[in-house]
Amino acid sequence: MDDRDFEGTLVLERLATLDTLDDFFDAIDADDFERATRLMKRADLDAATIAIVVQKMKAADGEH
């Protein structure tokens, strides 16, 4: 899972606004679901969007 999975999305736009993109992708690389979720909540993303991202992270587990 990498930035192409989110390219042009609200997720990246919001995280970029907070300058937390690198932290977010580090969390994804580490399969750190809690940290990724915390960053998305901080970016004021809705629960449905967060759930989709976490689902993508779980589906991509071991493929990065």
- Residue-wise pLDDT tens digits, 14-46: 999 999 999 999 999 999 999 999 999 999 998
pLDDT in tens, 4-14: 555 557 888 99
All structural domains of the chain with their residue ranges: 3-59
Interacting residues of 58 by C-beta distance below 8 A, sequence separation 6+: 33
Max distance between CA atoms of the chain, in angstroms, equals 29
Q: Which token pair is 33? A: 């679901």
Q: What is the pLDDT of residue 24?
A: 94
Do 20 and 39 contact (CB within 8 A), yes or no?
yes
| pTM for the model | 0.80
Contact 51, 27 (CB under 8 A): no
